[in-house]
Structure 1
Amino acid sequence: MASTYRTIQGDTWDIIAKKVYGEERHLDYLMEHNFPLLDYFIFPAGIELQTPDLPNRQPDDLPEWRKG
């Protein structure tokens, strides 16, 4: 389910990823879905970002060290 996030002054991609997805490492996924906003490094207040759900990872998609 896709939803949105409205920025507050000073938000950055990694801060938003942490707030929305729980980990900064998902900032690339967030950026992929908000391509027109890539010129922002530090956001002003009130910008609406698309925050689609992370894709479900299958066990075969995991690196060897994360399997079983």
Structure 2
Amino acid sequence: MDNRYITSQGDTWDMISYKVYGNEKYVDKLIQANLHYKEVIIFSANVKLNIPEANLINESKLPPWKRGVQ
């Protein structure tokens, strides 16, 4: 499920990631979905960006062997 995000003046990749996913770590996912804007650092208003679905993982503070991850 892809969505759209319309930028506000002054938005940056990390701000957009935080707004749509609640975490700045998805910047790479956003840029990959919007390669024609990859050189933009600060957006102007009304730029339409594709927002891919993030497979948000419930991150645990437990080490992998206690989470059942191998």
Q: What TM-score does the superposition give when structure 1 sets the normalisation length?
A: 0.81
Separation in 2, partners of 1:26, 1:52: 10
Separation in 2, partners of 1:22, 1:29: 14
Which stretches of structure 1, 4 residues or longer, exceed 3 Å deviation after superposition?
Answer: none
SS state at 1:4 partner: strand
> Over aligned residue pairs, what C-alpha RMSD do you find?
2.1
Corresponding position of 1:31:
31
Deviation, 1:39, is 1.6
Q: How does 1:39-50 map to 2 (within 5 A)?
A: 39-50=39-50
Separation in 2, partners of 1:25, 1:66: 24
Of structures 1 and 2, the larger Rg is shown by 2
SS state at 2:20 partner: helix
Deviation, 1:52, is 1.2
Extract unaligned runs of 5+ from structure 2.
58-62
Extract unaligned runs of 5+ from structure 1.
58-62
